A and B are shown apart, each in its own frame.
Chain A
């Protein structure tokens, strides 16, 4: 009946008795959290910091489906098929500075192992977009049903404030359309016609770009964004735009 535990006389059992698998899992989790697991570069430490934000961003999904993309950054080999597919699908003009999506290259010469990685970028379809706030005429707006940031071409006055406001360099002025142009997750060219993914995700041979529904617990993007073993992050979280494009690797 004596339930009092004598704390002062408890002995340290050590970790020898913890099963091997449990220890491994625990270490793995710790490493994932500190970022060492993700590759050991300084950047990955930053990435894990961001992943905390990523799960915050993921708490609310006001749209059904809540379109989202996860980039498996480590898989990207810069074949640029995504870019070609985007250009062909969305009629992006072949002039300098005109693109809806591109691939950035990062080199870490003093990294252990691989020293080069590729970072695909596109419009982050932010939950709190800067571009739509600054547009004087609502020419760019966050669509109420899809959550995609769209353009109403006829209203664009070409002041380019949205380009200044976007923290992701996702916008350019399209001289052919006479309006600012941007990625719309292929809304007009694919999704609204019943296709299930974007042209870039469809064209990617390395399964880098995973397109899906963040509000669906069975969806791949949901599962990747909500696990805690691998770091998931967003670009430029300090801009506070709550992006819907996530990054992961390893």
Chain B
């Protein structure tokens, strides 16, 4: 009996989706094509590196084993956690103003974490072993084990939450949303701890990283929510409803708050790395603020990632969508570089630096290879592809009655 009922409705669903996709213009299909091409190029490059050995394709090396692919992974999971946390203010914790951003944000939190997994699959040298040994030989003292496991749980909750949102089943959606937020916070702070609990890496070491990662995720979430919602309305060529405008206004305000929080964190991180010239951190902070890495830090991380968007958000008053789009785009570029800085700078000082030996007198350098950049681009391509298809398939992620 059940089959007789569901089969026609599935057909209807397929027809509906097909019709929605047909409404798209040439521009949409061109963007989908480009995004898909980037993903394919990226997957091809990644598979090639996986088969022939990373050594020949990636610029990471013994002393700097983590490069742009780790930074990209961190960037995507930061975005996903942020999307989950900021959107949960409305649909999980009941703040009405945030309700309209729920569906698109949850969808994008799934899209971004999948992009993160896509990139990390080509960063880890033997990912297929992970699938087996993470399960049958777990190391409970390992933050990376917890991070991976909790992100798996997080993805399952977010996926279930989105399905319940689509079905307009509010209660289970709230339960899944809440559980997803908890798993997300636990997973993401463990990612911070992957860096923060390494005793031999003074630039990272301490409780700062897990805390910073959560605050930073929420800041990133605001940028990603603003960017994708404004773009979503452009893709669908729709007029923005007042309640959606209101949701973006409050998101901008939270964004302003979180930028100041991260600016505050960053300021103290720098002061802590300078006061008393602590071993292992001081030369890095020096390079970051005045030296070799200063332009990247000041221009991308500070100006594009935080200070510029802060000014633009304030000027926009949460209503000037053009300014908000520019600000959030700038922020996303800046935050990506911020992740790169975090990953690279923690390794920049050789572990034997203080020994004063000839081999390790200088800071270590790393710049990604073309192959690493192509795989990185694939992560962005996958998010773009899922976003574009999601807009059409789920009809602009309209929130009816949550």
Interface residues of A, Cβ cutoff 8 Å to B:
43, 95-98, 104-108, 119, 121, 130, 133-139, 154-161, 163-169, 172-173, 175, 178-179, 235-236, 238-241
B-side contacts of A167, CB under 8 Å: 199-200, 351
**B130 contacts A157, CB within 8 Å?**
yes
**B352 contacts A159, CB within 8 Å?**
no
The CA of A154 and the CA of B350, in the complex, are separated in Å by 29
The CA of A194 and the CA of B158, in the complex, are separated in Å by 56
The CA of A220 and the CA of B55, in the complex, are separated in Å by 41
The reply to whether the CB of B63 lies closer than 8 angstroms to some CB of chain A is yes
Closest partner residue, chain A, to B130 (CB atom)? A157
**A159 contacts B62, CB within 8 Å?**
no
Given A137-B129, A155-B137: A236 touches B360 (CB 8 Å cut-off): no
Closest partner residue, chain A, to B358 (CB atom)? A105
A-side contacts of B356, CB under 8 Å: 43, 106, 108
**B351 contacts A168, CB within 8 Å?**
yes
The reply to whether the CB of B124 lies closer than 8 angstroms to some CB of chain A is yes
**A106 contacts B357, CB within 8 Å?**
yes
The CA of A133 and the CA of B358, in the complex, are separated in Å by 30
A-side contacts of B143, CB under 8 Å: 134
**B199 contacts A178, CB within 8 Å?**
no
User: Could you say which of B61, B127, B129 contacts A155, with CB atoms under 8 Å apart?
Assistant: B129
**A104 contacts B66, CB within 8 Å?**
no
**A106 contacts B355, CB within 8 Å?**
yes
A69 → chain B closest CB, angstroms: 17
B35 → chain A closest CB, angstroms: 28
A and B contact pairs by CB, cutoff 8 A, 27 listed:
A96-B61, A97-B61, A97-B63, A104-B355, A104-B357, A105-B357, A106-B358, A107-B358, A119-B357, A130-B198, A133-B142, A136-B142, A136-B148, A137-B133, A137-B138, A138-B133, A155-B133, A156-B126, A157-B126, A157-B130, A160-B65, A167-B199, A168-B200, A169-B350, A173-B54, A173-B62, A235-B355
The reply to whether the CB of B194 lies closer than 8 angstroms to some CB of chain A is yes
The CA of A98 and the CA of B199, in the complex, are separated in Å by 24
Given A136-B134, A137-B138, A161-B194: A178 touches B357 (CB 8 Å cut-off): no
**B129 contacts A175, CB within 8 Å?**
no
Chain B interface residue count: which class? 35 or more
**B199 contacts A240, CB within 8 Å?**
yes
B243 → chain A closest CB, angstroms: 44
B-side contacts of A130, CB under 8 Å: 198-200
The reply to whether the CB of B105 lies closer than 8 angstroms to some CB of chain A is no
Closest partner residue, chain B, to A170 (CB atom)? B351
Closest partner residue, chain A, to B56 (CB atom)? A175
The reply to whether the CB of B253 lies closer than 8 angstroms to some CB of chain A is no
Dominant SS among interface residues on chain B: loop
Which chain B residues in 88-147 approach chain A with CB under 8 Å?
A: 124-127, 129-130, 133-134, 137-139, 141-145
Those 8 A-B pairs whose CB atoms lie nearest each other, nearest first: A158-B125, A167-B200, A136-B145, A97-B62, A137-B133, A104-B357, A160-B65, A157-B130
The CA of A142 and the CA of B61, in the complex, are separated in Å by 25
The CA of A24 and the CA of B368, in the complex, are separated in Å by 60
Given A104-B352, A157-B124: A164 touches B347 (CB 8 Å cut-off): yes
The reply to whether the CB of B53 lies closer than 8 angstroms to some CB of chain A is yes
**Residue from A96, A158, A178 with most neighbouring chain B CB atoms (10 Å):** A158
The CA of A163 and the CA of B347, in the complex, are separated in Å by 11
Closest partner residue, chain A, to B55 (CB atom)? A175
The CA of A137 and the CA of B138, in the complex, are separated in Å by 5
The CA of A241 and the CA of B199, in the complex, are separated in Å by 8
User: Could you say which of B53, B62, B139, B359 contacts A104, with CB atoms under 8 Å apart?
Assistant: B359
**B144 contacts A159, CB within 8 Å?**
yes
Dominant SS among interface residues on chain A: loop
The reply to whether the CB of B279 lies closer than 8 angstroms to some CB of chain A is yes
Count of chain A to chain B residue pairs whose CB atoms are closer than 8 Å in the complex: 136
User: Could you say which of A97, A107, A169 contacts B351, with CB atoms under 8 Å apart?
Assistant: A169
Given A161-B144, A167-B200: A138 touches B137 (CB 8 Å cut-off): yes
The CA of A169 and the CA of B63, in the complex, are separated in Å by 7
**Residue from B66, B127, B198 with most neighbouring chain A CB atoms (10 Å):** B198
A-side contacts of B141, CB under 8 Å: 133-134
The reply to whether the CB of B246 lies closer than 8 angstroms to some CB of chain A is no
Closest partner residue, chain A, to B131 (CB atom)? A157
B112 → chain A closest CB, angstroms: 21
Closest partner residue, chain A, to B193 (CB atom)? A134
The CA of A165 and the CA of B61, in the complex, are separated in Å by 15
B-side contacts of A121, CB under 8 Å: 352
A-side contacts of B358, CB under 8 Å: 104-107
**B66 contacts A134, CB within 8 Å?**
no
**B62 contacts A157, CB within 8 Å?**
no
**Residue from A119, A157, A165, A178 with most neighbouring chain B CB atoms (10 Å):** A157
User: Could you say which of A155, A160, A166 contacts B66, with CB atoms under 8 Å apart?
Assistant: A160
**A135 contacts B351, CB within 8 Å?**
no
User: Could you say which of A159, A165, A168 contacts B124, with CB atoms under 8 Å apart?
Assistant: A159
B200 → chain A closest CB, angstroms: 3
Closest partner residue, chain A, to B204 (CB atom)? A164
A-side contacts of B197, CB under 8 Å: 134
The reply to whether the CB of B201 lies closer than 8 angstroms to some CB of chain A is yes
User: Could you say which of A138, A166, A173 contacts B125, with CB atoms under 8 Å apart?
Assistant: A173
Question: Besides the contacts A97-B63, A154-B133, what 9 more A-B pairs have beta carbons closer than 8 Å?
Answer: A104-B352, A106-B357, A130-B198, A136-B134, A136-B139, A159-B130, A167-B199, A168-B351, A239-B200
Given A164-B201, A178-B125, A239-B199: A137 touches B351 (CB 8 Å cut-off): no
A-side contacts of B127, CB under 8 Å: 157
A233 → chain B closest CB, angstroms: 11
**A169 contacts B198, CB within 8 Å?**
no
User: Could you say which of A43, A95, A119, A164 contacts B65, with CB atoms under 8 Å apart?
Assistant: A164
Closest partner residue, chain B, to A133 (CB atom)? B141
A-side contacts of B53, CB under 8 Å: 175
Closest partner residue, chain B, to A46 (CB atom)? B354
A-side contacts of B194, CB under 8 Å: 134, 161
The CA of A101 and the CA of B193, in the complex, are separated in Å by 29
